[in-house]
C-alpha cells in the first residue's frame, strides 16, 4: 500500500475545500487535496446564484467565464403569484458557471502550493487514541494511506470525514432538489432571478428560475417535509405551468440535497475539522452555501496551519475556527433556521398576506438571516392580527 505524509489533508475540491487548501498552503503548510471526481466542479449540483461579495470572498472576479449572467433584480412570488421585487441597489448578484468557478478556485489552491489529487476518494479517517491522524483513500482501485497533522473534511453534505470521525451522522432536516437546465428559451428579463413559494408548487421549499442568458436558465425546486410526489414530478408540473419554460429543451437534469437544519454541533475534533456543507453551514432559508463555504474554508485553512505550526492540533486549539465562523455566519445560519421554522407555521393564505406587508429590505433580511428580530418587530407593526400571532410565537422562541 502507498503511504504519503503531509501537514494538512483537505478532502473535497468544492468551494470550501479549495479555500481551505489555499489558505493552509499560503501559510507554508504541505497540503494534499483530494477530489473523487475526474473534473473539479462537475457534475454540478447547484442553481449557480452568488452575490458579488461571495465571488470576491472566494478570491474570484465577477466576469465571464466565471459568471454567465449578471442579476439586477430578484422577484419573490407568494402562492397567489403576487411578487415583491428586490432591485440591484439593495443587492448585487450573478449566476455562475459553477464548473469554471470551482475549477479556478482549485487552481488558486494549486498555485499556492497545494497538491491536488483527482480521481481519489477518501474512504475513512484513520485514528489513534481518539485523534484523527490521516485518511485512507482509493484511486484506480488502489488503496493508499495519507498521514497528516490535520484533516479538513470539505466533502459535502454526505461527508465521509464527518461520519467516520464521529462528528455526526446525518442532518435532521434536508431539502431534496430537482433541476433542469433549459435551453431554447426567449426570456424577456434574463437579469431577473425568480423565487416561487406555495404548498401546491413546492411543499416546504421553493422553486427558482435562474437565467444563465436569455436562452438558457436553471429551473429547479426543493421539497421539504411532507410531499406527495417526487421533486422531479413537482418540477415537471412547475415547468409545464409556465408558458416561457414549457417548450424549453432539457439540456441537463440534476438536483441534490441541501442540509437546512443548521450548523452541526461540533465541527472540530482532535486533528480534524469540517467545513462547508459537510458541517451544515448553509443559509437554511435559501439553501445557499457557496458564500458561507468559502469563508468557512478560508478560516479552517488558516487555523489548521497555525495549529500545525504550534504543534497543538487538539480540538480545543482548532475550535478557534468555530468561534471565528460563528461570530457572523453562525448567527446568520441560526437566525435563518428560526425563520424557516416560523414560516413552517404559515399557510399559503398567511404567506399571501405576509407578502403584502413586507418590504424589499425585510425579504433580504429574512432570507439571509440578517437583523431578523428587528425586521420582524417592524413587520408586526404593520401586519394584520393573524400574522402578528404567528410572528410573536417565533419571537417568544
Ligand atoms: C440543487 C441545488 C442548488 C443550489 N443552488 C445554490 C445557489 O444558487 N447558490 C448557493 O450559494 N448555493 C447553492 N446550493 C448549495 C451549494 O451548492 C453548496 O452549499 C456548496 O456547493 C457547498 O460547497 P462545499 O465545498 O461545502 O461542498 P461541495 O460543493 O459539495 O463540494 C464537495 C466536494 O467534495 C468531493 N467529495 C465528496 N466526497 C469525497 C470523498 N470521499 N473523497 C474525495 N472527494 C470527495 C465532491 O466531489 C465535491 O467536489 C445549491 C445546492 C443544490 C443541491
Domain architecture of the chain: domains with CATH = 2-45+99-170+263-330 (3.50.50.60), 70-94+174-259 (3.30.9.10), 345-395 (no CATH)
Nearest to 209 by CA among 194, 231, 190, 227: 194
Coil, helix or strand at residue 361: helix
Q: What percent of the chain has pLDDT over 70?
A: 98
Beta strands in 97-197 (DSSP E): 115-117, 120-128, 131-139, 142-153, 174-183, 192-196
Of all atoms in ligand 1, which is nearest to the CA of residue 16? 25
Instruction: Report d(CA 361, CA 352) in Å as an integer.
Output: 18
Residue 358 alpha carbon to ligand 1 centre in Å: 32
- Closest C-alpha among 37, 254, 48 to residue 156: 37
> Is pLDDT at 384 greater than 90 in this prediction?
no
CA–CA gap between residue 90 and residue 293 (Å, rounded)? 23
What was the pLDDT predicted at 382?
85
290 lines ligand 1 (CB under 6 A): yes
- Peptide bond before 65: cis, by omega within 30 degrees of 0? yes
The rounded distance, in Å, linking the Cα atoms of 82 and 85 is: 10
> CA 11: distance to chain centroid?
17
pLDDT above 90 for 15:
yes
Query: Pocket of ligand 1, candidates 19, 102, 152, 155: which has the most ligand atoms within 8 Å of its Cβ, to mutate?
Result: 155
Q: Which whole-number Å values give the CA distances from 100 to 18, 255, 282, in the listed order?
A: 13, 19, 21
Rounded average pLDDT over 11-18: 98
pTM of the model: 0.96
Quote the percentage of the chain above a pLDDT of 90. 84
- β-pairing verdict for 268-269 and 272-274: antiparallel
Q: What are 204's three cell numbers?
A: 416546504
Question: How much is the average pLDDT of 185-207?
Answer: 94
Longest dimension (CA), the chain: 68
Could you tell me if the CB of 47 is within 6 A of ligand 1? Answer: yes
Ligand 1 neighbourhood includes 36 CB (under 6 angstroms): yes
From 33, 41, 45, 209, give the residue whose CB has the most ligand 1 atoms within 8 Å, as the site to mutate.
Answer: 45
The Cα–Cα gap between 101 and 104 comes to 5
pLDDT at 166: 97
Distances from the Cα of 373 to the Cα of 207, 309, 335, 361, 377, angstroms: 26, 41, 9, 13, 6
Per residue in 209-251, pLDDT tens? 999 999 999 999 999 877 788 999 999 999 999 999 999 999 9
* pLDDT tens sequence across 127-184: 999 999 999 999 999 999 999 999 999 999 999 999 999 999 999 999 999 999 999 9
Beta strand spans in 2-114 (E): 2-11, 31-34, 49-51, 67-71, 73-77, 83-87, 93-96
List the residue whose alpha carbon is closest to atom 17 of ligand 1: 46
**Separation of CA 24 and ligand 1 centre (Å):** 20
The predicted-structure confidence for 322-356, as pLDDT tens digits, reads as follows: 999 999 999 999 999 999 999 998 999 999 999 99
- Report whether 41 contacts 102 (CB < 8 A): yes
Amino acid at each position: 500500500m502507498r503511504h504519503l505524509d503531509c501537514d494538512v489533508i483537505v478532502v473535497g475540491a468544492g468551494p470550501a475545500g479549495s479555500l481551505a487548501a489555499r489558505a493552509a498552503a499560503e501559510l507554508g503548510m504541505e497540503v494534499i487535496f483530494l477530489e473523487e471526481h475526474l473534473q473539479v466542479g462537475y457534475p454540478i449540483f447547484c442553481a449557480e446564484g452568488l452575490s458579488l461579495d461571495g465571488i470576491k470572498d472566494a478570491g474570484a472576479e465577477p466576469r465571464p467565464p466565471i459568471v454567465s449572467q449578471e442579476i439586477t433584480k430578484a422577484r419573490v412570488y407568494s402562492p397567489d403569484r403576487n411578487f415583491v421585487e428586490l432591485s440591484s441597489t439593495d443587492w448585487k448578484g450573478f449566476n455562475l458557471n459553477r464548473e469554471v468557478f470551482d475549477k479556478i478556485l482549485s487552481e488558486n489552491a494549486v498555485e499556492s502550493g497545494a497538491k491536488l489529487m483527482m480521481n481519489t476518494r477518501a474512504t475513512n479517517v484513520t485514528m489513534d487514541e481518539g485523534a484523527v491522524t490521516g485518511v485512507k483513500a482509493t484511486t484506480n482501485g488502489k488503496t493508499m494511506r495519507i498521514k497528516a497533522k490535520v484533516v479538513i473534511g470539505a466533502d459535502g453534505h454526505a461527508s465521509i470525514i464527518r461520519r467516520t470521525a464521529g462528528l455526526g451522522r446525518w442532518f435532521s432536516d434536508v431539502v431534496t432538489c430537482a433541476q433542469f437546465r433549459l435551453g431554447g428559451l426567449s426570456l424577456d428579463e434574463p437579469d431577473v432571478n425568480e423565487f416561487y413559494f406555495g404548498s401546491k408548487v413546492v411543499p416546504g421549499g421553493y422553486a427558482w428560475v435562474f437565467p444563465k442568458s436569455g436562452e438558457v436558465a436553471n429551473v429547479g425546486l426543493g421539497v421539504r417535509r411532507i410531499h406527495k410526489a417526487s421533486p422531479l414530478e413537482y418540477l415537471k408540473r412547475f415547468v409545464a405551468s409556465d408558458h416561457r419554460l414549457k417548450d424549453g429543451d432539457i439540456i441537463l437534469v440534476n438536483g441534490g440535497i441541501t442540509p437546512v437544519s443548521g450548523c452541526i454541533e461540533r465541527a472540530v475534533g482532535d486533528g480534524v475539522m469540517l467545513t462547508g456543507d459537510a458541517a451544515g453551514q448553509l443559509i437554511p432559508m435559501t439553501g445557499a452555501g457557496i458564500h458561507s463555504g468559502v469563508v468557512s474554508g478560508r478560516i479552517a485553512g488558516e487555523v489548521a496551519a497555525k495549529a500545525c505550526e504550534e504543534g497543538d492540533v487538539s480540538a480545543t486549539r482548532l475550535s478557534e475556527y468555530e468561534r471565528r465562523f460563528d461570530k457572523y455566519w453562525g448567527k446568520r445560519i441560526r437566525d435563518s433556521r428560526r425563520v424557516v421554522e416560523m414560516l413552517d407555521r404559515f399557510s399559503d393564505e398567511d404567506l399571501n398576506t405576509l407578502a403584502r406587508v413586507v418590504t424589499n429590505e425585510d425579504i433580504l433580511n429574512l432570507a439571509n438571516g440578517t437583523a431578523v428580530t428587528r425586521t420582524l418587530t417592524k413587520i408586526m407593526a404593520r401586519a394584520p392580527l393573524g400574522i402578528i400571532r404567528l410572528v410573536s410565537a417565533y419571537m417568544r422562541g
